Structure formats: structure tokens, C-alpha cells
Structure 1
Amino acid sequence: MQAQEVKQIIESQLDGCSVYPAGEGCDFQVTVVGDLFAGLTPVKKQQLVYQCLQQHIASGAIHALTIKTYTPEQWQTLQS
């Protein structure tokens, strides 16, 4: 699996989100930015992203996944 595939899977399931993937093979890191994360607990945010990739994790196509989530405002602050 490629990082671009991971990006497409997440973006197709989480409307309005931007995904910044890294990694290769079966080890990936994703940063996901979207308004849907506003007001959610850290666990709920991770669950939303994890659900998108669950079948790929179960199949072993993804072995390790690091998830970071931000609202657009939080992301903008980090980029400054």
C-alpha cells in the first residue's frame, strides 16, 4: 500500500478533510485536518480515522498507523 492510497481512502470517507500522509509499505503516519474534529475527544477523533482504514488494518495491509488530527484553526496555528 502507498501513502497516496491511504490519503484517498480517508478523504473519500471523511468529507471536507485534508489528509497529509507519510510512510510506505505497511507503516503510515497521517495528519488529518477537518472541521468535523471540533469539540470531539482525542479518542473519538482517532476512532473516526481508524474506521476509514479498519479493513486494511485487519487484512495486514496496514500494520502500524500513527494518527494526528486537527481542526483547520489548530492546523493554521501550527503552520505559523
Structure 2
Amino acid sequence: MQTVTIKNCKFSESQIIKALKDNQQRRSVSDVSRELGIDKSTFYYWRNKYGGMEQQQLKLLEELEDENNKLKQDVR
């Protein structure tokens, strides 16, 4: 399982998706953030970027971002 690399993020794709789904099931942002040991702003960032995504879609997004970074390096 890959770990999402968002500013040295230590959470896996599954953990991020689980946290977002927990919030959708009526758990407060404060409770989810406290449980994971993250700031509320991090949770809101995840929700804005990954809200509504399933794990397969998140993996595709990461692959596209990696490919984009490689292409940027080739251009330089």
C-alpha cells in the first residue's frame, strides 16, 4: 500500500478515505482530527482534494501527479 505524499504525510490512502467517510457518517471533524492527531485544516484540505473519491480514483490521481512531476523534470 502506498502512502500519500502530501507535505510529508504519514497517512495511507485507506486512512484518508476512512477519515473522510467517518466524517460523512456524522462524526465531527474535531473527533476525527483528534483521533488521527492532525490539525482540522489538514482534514479540510483532504476533504477538498479527495472528497467523494474512492480508493481506486485516489490511486489514479497519485499516478497522474507522479507522471506530471516526471514530465516537469524532463522539461527543465
More helix by proportion, 1 or 2?
Answer: 2
Name the larger-Rg structure: 2
Higher percent of residues as strand: 1
Q: Relative CO higher for 1 or 2, CA cutoff 8 Å, sep ≥ 6?
A: 1
